[in-house]
């Protein structure tokens, strides 16, 4: 409006931190990212801020919630500004709902004004806590039935450098006095969600708090041993803040912050993904100090390239991020674990390759892995999927369990697997035998393509043949028409497709050979950079690694990277400026790679077991609980026998999550496309048959009489 000057905030928007290459692409993405604050008609929103004015200006200010078009949804006039900093608070109640609103602070008179710590909160937070958490997100997390809450997160604890490390004492008290910090994911955190709020969050979820303390180690540097005293003291003081009486120094501060009752912290993890000699000696410092003062606190050590050997271990924390086949193969990881060793907290795991943005095959592989964790519950005492939350316009990791924007939310299939397993815990395991052959490997299908990794290169004469007939042939006289370009700087030049950027994971995909044997021929030349070529085949999308990686791993190795398998690597390098003749033959489940007419690599896909299960009893409900994962593409009919049960109820329940294909996902448009649904099943006797659908997770609950 004419005569109005001020500032406005559109709410959270953006993309991950600006890359070194192609900043103009980042800026376009940032400008196009959908921001906005979601406000609802009749609900209250509490605004607070600090302000001071130069001499001659006393306001008033107008605080308003507005639509992007400038329509005022709610407003309040604020006077009383002076030359001293002062906190102002008002409540705004919009007259209509708008999911893309903005907050504006403006004045109609000339003058100079300073603002700080501007904060807008819905009155309705989870458990109606001040400085509370978004209610719908927390309800979605609560539906996972978490037994514990690990906080404040993994690499967030460490920081890129120690100057960014998370120090809990800086995250309590007045929000305006918390300094905040830069983190590894490319933005600055205010630490509005601090140590006290995390403890409160665990309590509100009915979960045990698990605090991760910085062990004096960051990604790039560390604290010298002679200066570790304050970090060890931080751990002792954190326990006192959580558990100490109100007569203690830190217990009194907890009470001052509104929680006189102790939180009951029982577990501390010393560091995150730390290892080696530096961690070994620092673990000993924390272990000895905490054991001396708090002998009942359970200590969790990192298992990152080996566990520390300097002191006894209560619990160790390994992490696993891999492809679906790795998870399927590791379902029996703890079947032969040494029962005299430390207990295990599997603190971070997820299928992160061939996972799309959270697809069914990832969730099924994780579920198979989880049957092994449950089956070995005597040693694997805890586990947690990671990461938990993602806003699509700021994606620094893929995939995540819960996807949200300012007004919407949905769970990925992996999220639903977590709710199914946690919501149906058994308190006593039952022996279970599965007799099922590994399913045959289904030959994948997808596009062919070329790409680079931190390398500039060009490609020409790309041709696909099947049974002696050409089914695809490149023609770059029409530029890049018909090619799906992912990242990089692509152009057609001199009859070739040229890629000029030094970026990671750059692909150009085209054609679709379909199912069956075929041969891919092309010529490639490296123009510069660190590595060689990516020759893609049977690639469903740009997120799936299905390629022959020539001159990879800093131009030291060639490797076949296929979905469902670990990379098969061998020594090799690619020269700059030289044209190579490349051929890839796909024959059934065998892939052969040729360089200049010579067979260099040959890999055969091998089957993995796709049927996994675990069984137990829920004593409180008087039910047998059977969890079965069928990660294969065919239904499996299985005979079940409840030994020791003379009779069963005629009907049981089956909670089933199924999909028509392994790549299915959920989305804002279809949030429950893949989600569990309850069915009633007939149970004629303790011995019966049941068919488990293809691409499914099933939880059977059966009432049995002894």
Q: Detail the DSSP E strand segments found in 447-578.
A: 447-452, 455-466, 469-473, 484-486, 490-493, 496-499, 506-510, 518-529, 533-539, 547-551, 557-561, 568-571
For residues 218 and 157, the answer to whether their CB atoms sit within 8 Å is: no
CA distance 201 to 388: 15
Residue 457: CB partners within 8 Å, gap ≥ 6? Answer: 450, 498, 499, 524, 525, 526, 527, 529, 532, 533
Distance in angstroms between the alpha carbons of the first and the last residue of the chain: 78
CA distance 535 to 560: 10
Hey, what are 55's tokens? 């001499």
Report the alpha-carbon angle 112-114-119, nearest 5: 140
Hey, what are 685's tokens? 């006797």
Residues annotated as part of the active site: 273
Report the alpha-carbon angle 125-395-505, nearest 5: 170
Residue whose entry in the numeric block shows the structure tokens 């001293």? 84
Report the alpha-carbon angle 52-58-62, nearest 5: 85
Handedness of CA 222, 223, 225, 230 (dihedral sign): negative
Nearest in space to 355 (alpha carbons), one of 393, 391, 322, 331: 322
Nearest in space to 460 (alpha carbons), one of 427, 491, 504, 501: 491
Could you check whether the bond before residue 455 is cis, i.e. omega within 30 degrees of 0?
no
For residues 452 and 525, the answer to whether their CB atoms sit within 8 Å is: no
Could you check whether the bond before residue 234 is cis, i.e. omega within 30 degrees of 0?
no
- Chain-centre distance of CA 609, in angstroms? 26
Number of C-beta neighbours around residue 480 at 10 A: 15
State how far the alpha carbon of 700 is from the alpha carbons of 371, 618, 631, 706, in Å. 14, 12, 17, 18
For residues 91 and 110, the answer to whether their CB atoms sit within 8 Å is: no
Hey, what are 195's tokens? 């140590």
Q: 697: burial class by Cβ within 10 Å (0-12, 13-18, 19+)?
A: buried
For residues 624 and 421, the answer to whether their CB atoms sit within 8 Å is: no
Residue 261: CB partners within 8 Å, gap ≥ 6? Answer: none
- Residue 198 backbone phi and psi in degrees, to 5: -65, -45
Nearest in space to 163 (alpha carbons), one of 185, 151, 180: 180
CA distance 407 to 414: 21
Pick left, alpha or beta for residue 59 (phi over 0 → left; psi -120 to 50 → alpha; otherwise beta): left
For residues 64 and 74, the answer to whether their CB atoms sit within 8 Å is: yes
Q: Which helix (H) or strand (E) holds 255?
A: helix 249-256
For residues 325 and 656, the answer to whether their CB atoms sit within 8 Å is: no
Hey, what are 412's tokens? 């990925």
């Amino acid at each position: 409006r004419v005569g109005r000057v001020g500032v406005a905030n559109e709410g959270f928007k953006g993309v991950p931190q600006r890359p070194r290459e192609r900043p103009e692409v980042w800026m376009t993405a940032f400008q196009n990212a959908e921001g906005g604050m979601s406000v609802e008609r009749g609900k209250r929103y509490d605004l607070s801020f600090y302000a001071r004015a130069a001499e001659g200006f006393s306001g008033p200010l107008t605080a308003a919630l507005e639509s992007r078009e400038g329509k005022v949804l709610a407003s309040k006039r604020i006077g009383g500004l002076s030359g001293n900093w002062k906190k102002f608070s008002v409540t705004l109640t919009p007259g209509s709902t708008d999911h893309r609103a903005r907050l504006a602070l403006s004045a109609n008179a000339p003058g100079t004004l300073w603002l700080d710590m501007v904060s807008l909160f819905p009155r309705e937070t989870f458990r109606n806590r001040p400085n509370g958490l978004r209610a719908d997100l927390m309800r979605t997390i609560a539906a996972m039935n978490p037994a514990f809450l690990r906080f404040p997160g993994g690499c967030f604890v460490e920081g890129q450098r120690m100057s960014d490390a998370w120090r809990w004492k800086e995250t309590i008290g007045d929000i305006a006095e918390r300094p905040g910090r830069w983190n590894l994911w490319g933005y600055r955190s205010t630490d509005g969600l601090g140590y006290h709020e995390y403890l409160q969050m665990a309590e509100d979820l009915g979960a045990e708090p698990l605090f991760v303390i910085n062990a004096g180690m960051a990604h790039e540097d560390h604290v010298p041993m002679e200066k570790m005293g304050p970090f060890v003291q931080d751990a002792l003081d954190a326990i006192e803040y959580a558990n100490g009486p109100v007569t203690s120094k830190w217990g009194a501060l907890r009470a001052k912050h509104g929680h006189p009752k102790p939180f009951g912290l029982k577990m501390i993890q010393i560091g995150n993904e730390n290892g080696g000699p530096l961690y070994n000696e620092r673990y000993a410092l924390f272990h000895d100090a905490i054991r001396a003062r708090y002998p009942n606190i359970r200590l969790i050590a990192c298992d990152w390239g080996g566990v520390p050997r300097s002191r006894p271990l209560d619990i160790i924390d390994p992490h696993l991020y891999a492809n679906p086949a790795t998870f399927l193969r590791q379902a029996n990881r703890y079947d032969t674990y040494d029962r005299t060793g430390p207990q295990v907290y599997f603190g971070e795991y997820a299928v992160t390759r061939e996972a799309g943005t959270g697809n069914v095959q990832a969730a099924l592989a994780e579920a198979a892995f989880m049957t092994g964790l449950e089956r070995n519950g005597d040693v694997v005492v805890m586990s947690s999927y990671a990461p938990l939350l993602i806003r699509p316009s700021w994606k620094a990791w893929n995939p995540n369990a819960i996807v949200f924007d300012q007004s919407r939310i949905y769970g990925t299939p992996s999220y639903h697997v977590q709710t199914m397993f946690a919501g149906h815990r058994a308190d006593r395991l039952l022996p279970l035998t599965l007799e099922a052959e590994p399913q045959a490997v289904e030959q994948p299908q997808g596009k062919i393509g070329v790409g680079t990794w931190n390398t500039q290169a060009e490609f020409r004469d790309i041709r696909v043949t099947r049974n002696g007939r050409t089914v695809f042939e490149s023609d770059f006289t029409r530029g890049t028409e018909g090619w799906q370009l992912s990242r990089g700087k692509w152009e057609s030049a001199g009859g070739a497709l040229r890629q000029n950027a030094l970026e990671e994971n750059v692909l150009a995909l085209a054609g679709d050979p379909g199912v069956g044997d075929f041969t891919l021929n092309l010529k490639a030349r490296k123009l510069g950079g660190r590595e060689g070529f990516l020759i893609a085949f049977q690639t469903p999308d740009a997120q799936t690694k299905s390629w022959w990686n020539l001159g990879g791993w800093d131009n030291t190795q060639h490797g076949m990277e296929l979905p469902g398998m670990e990379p098969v690597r061998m020594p090799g390098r690619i020269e700059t400026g030289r044209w190579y003749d490349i051929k890839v033959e796909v024959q059934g489940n065998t892939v052969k790679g040729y360089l200049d007419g010579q067979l260099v690599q040959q890999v055969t896909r091998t089957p993995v077991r796709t049927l996994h299960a675990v069984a137990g009893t829920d004593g409180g409900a008087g039910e047998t609980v059977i969890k079965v994962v069928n990660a294969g593409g065919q239904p499996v009919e299985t005979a079940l026998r409840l030994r020791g049960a003379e009779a069963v109820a005629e009907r049981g329940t089956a909670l089933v999550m199924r999909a028509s294909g392994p790549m299915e996902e959920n989305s804002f448009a279809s949030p429950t496309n893949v989600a569990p649904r309850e069915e009633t099943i007939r149970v004629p006797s303790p011995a019966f048959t049941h068919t488990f659908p293809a691409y499914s997770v099933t939880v059977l609950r059966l009432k049995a009489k002894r």
